[in-house]
Structure 1
Amino acid sequence: MGQVEDVLKNQPLDCGVCNKCCRKKPGILLFPEIGDDPAVYGENVEIVDNRPILKTKPNGDCVYLDLETGCTNYENRPRVCRTYDCRSDYIQWIAKPRTERRTMMKKGLLNQTVQKEGRSRLKAILKSRPTQIAAD
Structure 2
Amino acid sequence: MSTMTVKRAELKPGEVLCSYCTARCCRYFALPIETPETWEDYDHMRWYVMHGSCAIFVDEDVWFLMVYGDCKYLLEDYRCGNYEDRPQICRTYTTDECEYDNDGTYDRLFETPEQIWEYAHAVLPPKKKKKKKKSATEVSHQKLPIVHI
Check whether TM > 0.5.
Answer: no
Q: Which structure is larger by alpha-carbon Rg, 1 or 2?
A: 2
TM-score when normalising by structure 1: 0.29
TM-score when normalising by structure 2: 0.27
Question: Could you say which structure has the higher strand fraction?
Answer: 2
